[in-house]
């Protein structure tokens, strides 16, 4: 009996949440966190590159710690892929121009 009441309450809560989100969207609001602006991203990268931990940089810039860790890991991933692509291209060019024709 109590389980049925709890299930009914959960459905009511979910319905109210959906209605609230729809009303906010109608007023022009976007649900969720606001993205970091480009100035904060650049400042965070400079702080982390200078040796400050991402956690301390996040506190200093009033940004999310997870956001800075994800940003840093994404940049490292892009840099690694760029290194692999560059080494592949250099190897390809070396093979193309060093083989006798």
Q: Are residues 7 and 24 in the same domain?
A: yes
pLDDT digits (tens, 9 = 90+) for 85-94: 556 555 555 5
Q: Are residues 61 and 99 in the same domain?
A: yes
Q: Are residues 28 and 69 in the same domain?
A: no
For the entire predicted model, the pTM comes to 0.44
Q: Are 63 and 48 in contact (CB under 8 A)?
A: no
Provide the terminal-to-terminal Cα distance of the chain, rounded to the nearest Å: 85
pLDDT digits (tens, 9 = 90+) for 71-87: 777 766 655 665 655 56
pLDDT digits (tens, 9 = 90+) for 22-65: 999 999 988 877 777 778 778 887 887 788 887 888 888 887 77
Q: Tell me the residue range of the domain where 74 lies.
A: 35-101
**Sign, Cα dihedral of 72, 78, 82, 88:** positive
What's the total number of domains in the chain? 2
């Amino acid at each position: 009996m109590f389980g049925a009441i709890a299930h009914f309450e959960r459905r009511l809560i979910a319905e109210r949440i959906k209605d609230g989100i729809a009303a906010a969207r109608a007023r022009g609001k976007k649900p969720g966190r606001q993205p970091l602006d480009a100035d904060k991203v650049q400042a965070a990268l400079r702080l982390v590159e200078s040796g400050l931990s991402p956690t301390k940089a996040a506190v200093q810039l009033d940004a999310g710690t997870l956001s800075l860790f994800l940003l840093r890991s994404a940049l490292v991933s892009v840099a690694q892929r760029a290194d692999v692509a560059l080494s592949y291209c250099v190897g390809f060019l070396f093979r193309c121009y060093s083989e006798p024709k």
